[in-house]
Amino acid sequence: MIDEKKLVLDSSSKLVDPSGKEITELYQKNRELVSINKIPKNVQNAFIAVEDQRFYEHHGIDVRSIARALFKDLIAGSKVEGGSTITQQIAKNVFLSGEKSVMRKTKEAVIAVSLENNYSKKRLLEIYLNQLYFGHGAYGIQAASHYFFSKDVTELTPSEAATLASLPKAPSGYSPILHPEKSKKRRDLVLSLMQEQGFISSEEAVRAQGKTLGLKINKKAESPWFASYIDLVLNEAEEKYNISNDELLRGGYTITVPLNADLQKKAYQLFKEDSYFKGTVSGSQASFIMLDNKTGGAVAAIGGRDYVSKGYNRVTKSRQPGSTFKPLAVYGPALQENKFQPFSMLKDEPIKYGNYAPKNPEGYSGETTMYNALIHSLNAPAVWTLNEIGISKAKKYLEETGVPVDDNGLAIALGGLEKGVSPLNLANAYRTFADNGQYSDAYFIEKITDRHNNITAERKEEKKPVYSPQNALYMTRMLEHVVTEGTAHYGTYGGDLAGKTGTTSYPGKKGAVMDAWFAGYTPEVTGALWMGYDRTDQSHYLTQGSSAPVRLFKAILRGSKYDNSKKFEVPSGIEDLEDPIKLQPVQNLTADYKFKGFQLFTLHLEWTAQQDSRIEYRIYEQRGNEEKVIGTVKGENTFEMPYSNIFSRRAYKVVPFNTQTGQEGPGTDYVSP
């Protein structure tokens, strides 16, 4: 009749950070198992005194105790002392249903005797004290001690022990919170029983009865900001480590997670501020994920603005990524395939590719650098570049960074995907750039240990190179400029930040935004933030684009532990990306002859040069209808040509040359000396 598996009591699990600090508890029943060796004798004796004073003498049932209990109950006028033995209560509470019948009482007695024959008194008392319900959601003596007195069971006084011992018979009726006077009276009776049975002295009983209940309620604060993260932990435990949600909630596990509780709470609170969410009606949603750059551990995750446990977790739900996909699907692969460099020139024209004709919202320049195309999120150059490197090549890199797509069209360049991508996967793909081009899986669980401190699950890190450190740095530098001067300049944040915006429009409705994104990283963390409606239609859409997620992303970082002076480092042996050369028209060209002795006449040209020593100036000579370059200078504002013929009919002009792009800028008109 004894199923020993039933003696394995449910126990709360807990989330802890990498330092071992407890973050929160997970449970179906709030129970913390504690060894009998850690339960003080005064606490043990309080329960024995009121429930089973001959506990150490009987063998499961005690006729004398039943008779004595009935007598004392009659004198007191209330239920003071239990008639069933502690062992019988274990039999009833653990092994039997709540039915009241002669057969059930018979089974109870038989099981009690069997328990006594198979387990020591010490073990039986441990089981009993751990399985009791004390009211207010507290199961077991340890959880009750923490709840009612905010202390460990090892610190309980005789008075506090008596208060707890008075509860199991009627947790609600004797609740010291709901019925303090009734609870104190019951406690004092327990103390008297302890004195009568020799567990405490008369003076100790009088002193303890003279005390108030001394409650220090430890109602664990509601922590709704953890709900999204906890569900992601539960899902990972089930999917990766085959530990069911039910088992995790009742198995007494310790789950080490990379969560930063302060950042999680801050993100949750900012998600409640309506000023960041502009839509046609209330109910717009958002999700956010932040990962540690080196490990991939999730330091924060918000599944929605009003997320509830086991809800629709938008961290793992796919949406159209828009232009946040350009670095992943186009420019990263283009760099790695050695097809282009940051200052390579890309076509910026309205080109039609079959039935697909991408457009720039604000016109075309004919050609532009990758750097400029990325900063200003130009569509035409992105599609042209993808066409140049090939869709199959781009998809290979997408798969290697954890965002595989089934699509086969050039719309991939602009994030036009059939299924979309989740914030979690998008952030982890961007983390590849932040981690010197290496990819590894993101995670929520570092390790899980059971109640006996045995490791039952542990993350194994496996990194693989996708981009070279050189190209990863190139991408970081370009994405930094997206934040400082490009589409992600909105909001304020003092630290180094690289990232990309993304906006998708709702078809057929001018100005209607379906998805607004920002994905980016600091030297320490990488994140993605999405905004939109769960279902966008003619009356449910955002009225602003990616500026909102950019501002919110920066607000979450601002003032956090990641808001510091750390800079993006240049790895050893890697060449940093220069700032772009920006050519300005050459002005104030003068040309004259100077007499210099044996050199006779020397042609002297002089102009106003830019404050950039990298600029090369080309000197053109015009003779009739012909012109040619007769010399170049770099970072100078003069040019001289000795032995010049002062009678020749020649003219000269100066043209700036961009050594990064190989392009000439606007030069001067021809000037004759």
Contact predicate 21/259, CB 8 Å: no
Burial grade of 220 (CB within 10 A; 0-12, 13-18, 19 or more): exposed
In a domain, 300, yes or no: no
Q: Is 51 a catalytic residue?
A: yes
Count CB-CB contacts under 10 A for residue 194: 26
- pLDDT value at position 1? 57
Tokens of 289: 């994920």
pLDDT at 559 over 60: yes
In a domain, 603, yes or no: yes
| pLDDT grade for 532, boundaries at 50, 70 and 90 | very high
Given 192, 209, 226, which residue is the final one in a domain?
A: 209
| Domain that includes residue 597, residue range | 587-664
User: What is the C-alpha to C-alpha distance for residues 192 and 199, in angstroms, rounded to an integer?
Assistant: 10
Which DSSP letter does residue 221 get?
P
In a domain, 195, yes or no: yes
Main-chain dihedrals φ then ψ at residue 614, nearest 5 degrees: -80, -15
Given 167, 183, 209, which residue is the final one in a domain?
A: 209
DSSP per residue over 97-134, as a string? -S--SHHHHHHHHHHHHHHHHHS-HHHHHHHHHHH-B-
Kindly calculate the radius of gyration of the chain based on its CA atoms and give it in whole angstroms: 38
- pLDDT value at position 325? 98
| pLDDT grade for 279, boundaries at 50, 70 and 90 | very high
DSSP per residue over 567-613, as a string? -----TT-PPPPPPP-----EEEEEEEEE-GGG-EEEEEEEEPPS-T
Given 209, 227, 255, which residue is the final one in a domain?
A: 209
Q: Work out whether strand 638-641 and strand 366-369 pair parallel, antiparallel, or are unpaired.
A: unpaired
- pLDDT value at position 203? 94
How far is residue 432 from each of residues 125, 373, 495, measured CA to CA in Å?
55, 21, 20
Tokens of 450: 């059971």
In a domain, 409, yes or no: no
CATH number where 639 lies:
2.60.40.10
pLDDT at 266 over 70: yes
In a domain, 581, yes or no: no
User: What is the C-alpha to C-alpha distance for residues 32 and 627, in angstroms, rounded to an integer?
Assistant: 90
E strand spans, 221-372:
254-256, 285-292, 298-302, 345-348, 366-369
Active-site residue, selected from the candidate residues 11, 32, 51, 145: 51
Read off the pLDDT of residues 507-525 as tens digits, 9 standing for 90 and up. 988 899 999 999 999 999 9
CATH number where 179 lies:
1.10.3810.10
Of 11-25, 170-184, 522-536, 638-652, the one with minimum mean pLDDT is 638-652
In a domain, 539, yes or no: no
User: What is the C-alpha to C-alpha distance for residues 505 and 512, in angstroms, rounded to an integer?
Assistant: 6
How much of the chain exceeds pLDDT 70, in percent? 95
**Strands lying side by side in the sheet with 626-634:** 626-634, 616-623, 651-658, 663-664
Query: Mean pLDDT score of the chain, rounded to an integer?
Result: 92
Q: Which residues pair with 654 in a beta bridge?
A: 619
* Overall domain count for the chain: 2
3-state secondary structure of 273: coil
Q: Is 323 a catalytic residue?
A: yes
In a domain, 97, yes or no: yes
In a domain, 153, yes or no: yes
Listed residue (313, 314, 272, 264) closest to 291, CA to CA: 264
Could you tell me the pTM of the whole model? 0.83
Active-site residue, selected from the candidate residues 13, 159, 323, 377: 323
User: What is the C-alpha to C-alpha distance for residues 527 and 425, in angstroms, rounded to an integer?
Assistant: 10
